[in-house]
Amino acid sequence: MKASQQLRQLLCGESCEQILEAHNALSATIVEAAGVPGIWVSSLTLSCANGLRDNSELTMTQALEILESMTARVEIPILFDGDTGYGHFNHFQQLVRRLCLRGVAGVCIEDKVFPKTNSFLRSEQQKLAPVEEFCGKIRAGKDCQTDPDFVLVARTEALITGLGMECAIERAERYVEAGADAVLIHSKDSSFAPIQEFMRRFGDAAPVICVPTTYYSTPPEAFDHAGIALVIWANQMLRAGVDAMQRVAARIGESGSARDVEDFIAPVKELFRLQDADGLSQIDRTYGQNSTWKAVVLAASRGEGLDALTSDRPKCMIPVRGIPVIEKLVQNLRAEGVRDISIVRGYCGEALSPEGATYYDNPRWQQTGEIASLASARAALKGDIVFAYGDLIFKRYILHELMTSGAAITLVVDASKPFLDTGRRVDRVTLSAPPPATYDEDEYSLAAISADLPDAETHGEWIGLGRSSAEGT
């Protein structure tokens, strides 16, 4: 779901939801991983993290760049604290267009005058914009959003500047009439009571948001009970970081060593995890210059013993957990970095669904076997190749281990031997040594492979999956 639609859902749900502040891509990632359903990008913390005051000192361009790094990293919706909209209604329009382009879910603008001051600083001296002017800004924003679900929140600072409840309610009502999707009522009171009163008198013309920085001890159910749609925890992430950094800096500064802090700071490997360092090896395998891996999947036969289920499709097209077996196989191959996939078809070849593969045909599938099918894809038999039967179901780690093998030809052998009881005819395998019953990462050489090996010499079954290096091919 689009981020803006997610934000709308948070605002219009049955119960009160909460979102949490983030000021860069890292903190956004951490908020998302904690399961919080949305992010508030606060002007206070964004400016503070960038060495500026919360007095409209951070430029629109700076904010957009940081927002873009966040939307590139998280899926949850971001509500941006757009202050006064960076100037007049025309500036606000430029902001809204650019936020839509970057996938930001919504913006909140407040009815102060530019350049604004944070609500908790000299609040009584702050001026509010005339109602008409602010309504014009709301209309200007709504008129130019390119994402129809983009959320515009109008915030009134009437309680902050001491203009009182009447004024707050009147302004909130006017802003909703002008097109605001939600209202943010801000308060610097240490109790939730003024917001409760606002909620009693405002009605339900639009979802209401509050920011309990000063009344943080309010029990969560009270927000719900009052009918608040969304609570914003507006600065806790930066405050947590500042506190931790100050303590670590002081200890290192005093002692000249990191010995004392190592135990309570995040390990370096946590940073690697947060920046998805492992993801690079994955994409390197898929797109890197050395990624020449190919696969040939044999899907020409009907597959035995499933009768009516294969009347209009080969066995590999039967869905297991809702997805055809061969589709899952192709997904697994791609996830392991195999880009170039060839599929040999025969029986009901037109029923095969994987897209983006190269298809070869074995028209004599009824008279021939796997080797003839493999030969049908002769043109693909170059370099490093994974070969697989199309109807294989296996856990992906098996493919992963196969890809790390250094041998010229590697076969995957299942050593569990259920066929000894069922009598099913399989490709029996004798290994260079009997494998242990427990987990074991050793590779064995192939001593013999045949459907006719005696039970006593049989160590397992070739499952129909293997790999051949350029040399092996």
Scanning 39-47, 322-330, 332-340, 433-441 for contacts with Mg ion by CB under 5 A, the matching segment is 39-47
- Which of 137, 134, 40 is CA-nearest to residue 96? 137
As separate numbers, helices (DSSP H) first and strands (DSSP E) second, the chain gives: 16, 18
Please say if 440 is a catalytic residue. Answer: no
Among residues 159 and 176, whose Cβ is nearest to ligand SPV?
A: 159
Among residues 48 and 399, whose Cβ is nearest to ligand SPV?
A: 48
The token pair at 407 is 């041998």
List binders of ligand SPV among 288-307 (CB under 6 A): none
Among residues 44 and 49, whose Cβ is nearest to ligand SPV?
A: 44
Q: What are phi and psi of 114, to 5 degrees?
A: -75, 140
The token pair at 416 is 């569990």
Question: Is residue 235 close enough to count as binding ligand SPV by CB under 6 A?
Answer: yes
Q: Which of 43, 71, 145, 362 binds ligand SPV (CB under 6 A)?
A: 43
**Minimum distance between the CB of residue 234 and ligand SPV, rounded to whole angstroms?**
4
Scanning 41-49, 146-154, 381-389, 412-420 for contacts with ligand SPV by CB under 6 A, the matching segment is 41-49
Among residues 18 and 292, whose Cβ is nearest to ligand SPV?
A: 18
Residue 72 identity? A
* Cβ count within 10 A of residue 452: 7
Question: Is residue 43 close enough to count as binding Mg ion by CB under 5 A?
Answer: yes
Chain centroid, CA 190 distance in Å: 37
**Minimum distance between the CB of residue 105 and ligand SPV, rounded to whole angstroms?**
16
Among residues 45 and 71, whose Cβ is nearest to ligand SPV?
A: 45
CA distances from 167 to 114, 141, 153, 230 (A): 20, 23, 18, 22
* Burial of 296: CB neighbours in 10 Å, binned 0-12, 13-18, 19+: buried
Size of the site for ligand SPV (CB under 6 A): 11
- Which of 298, 317, 295, 461 is CA-nearest to residue 389? 298
State the Cα–Cα distance between residues 155 and 175, nearest whole angstrom.
9
**Minimum distance between the CB of residue 108 and ligand SPV, rounded to whole angstroms?**
8
**Minimum distance between the CB of residue 230 and ligand SPV, rounded to whole angstroms?**
13
Strand partners, 465: 388
- Secondary structure class of 339 (helix, strand, coil): coil
Question: Is residue 39 close enough to count as binding ligand SPV by CB under 6 A?
Answer: no
Question: Is residue 336 close enough to count as binding Mg ion by CB under 5 A?
Answer: no
Size of the site for Mg ion (CB under 5 A): 2
Scanning 65-73, 113-121, 322-330, 370-378 for contacts with ligand SPV by CB under 6 A, the matching segment is 113-121
Q: Say if residues 434 and 462 touch (Cβ distance below 8 Å).
A: no
List binders of ligand SPV among 186-215 (CB under 6 A): 211, 213
Q: Say if residues 235 and 45 touch (Cβ distance below 8 Å).
A: yes
- Given ligand SPV, Mg ion, none, residue 213, with its beta carbon under 5 to 8 Å by kind, binds ligand SPV
Q: Which of 17, 21, 32, 81 binds Mg ion (CB under 5 A)?
A: 81
Residue in this structure with the two tokens 């970057």, named with its chain if needed: 102
Among residues 10 and 299, whose Cβ is nearest to ligand SPV?
A: 10
Residue nearest ligand SPV (C-beta atom): 42
Scanning 36-44, 138-146, 368-376, 409-417 for contacts with ligand SPV by CB under 6 A, the matching segment is 36-44
- Given Mg ion, ligand SPV, none, residue 235, with its beta carbon under 5 to 8 Å by kind, binds ligand SPV
Catalytic residue among 54, 111, 340, 384: 54
DSSP symbols for 391-452? T----HHHHHHHHT--SSEEEEEETT-THHHH-----EEEESSPPPSS-------EEEEETT
Q: Say if residues 188 and 126 touch (Cβ distance below 8 Å).
A: no
**Minimum distance between the CB of residue 42 and ligand SPV, rounded to whole angstroms?**
3
Question: Is residue 44 close enough to count as binding ligand SPV by CB under 6 A?
Answer: yes
Q: Which of 119, 156, 218, 362 binds ligand SPV (CB under 6 A)?
A: 119
Angle between helices 89-101 and 60-71 (to 10 degrees): 20
Strand partners, 341: 295
In the complex, the residues that contact ligand SPV under the rule CB under 6 A are 42-44, 81, 118-120, 211, 213, 234-235
Known catalytic residues are 54
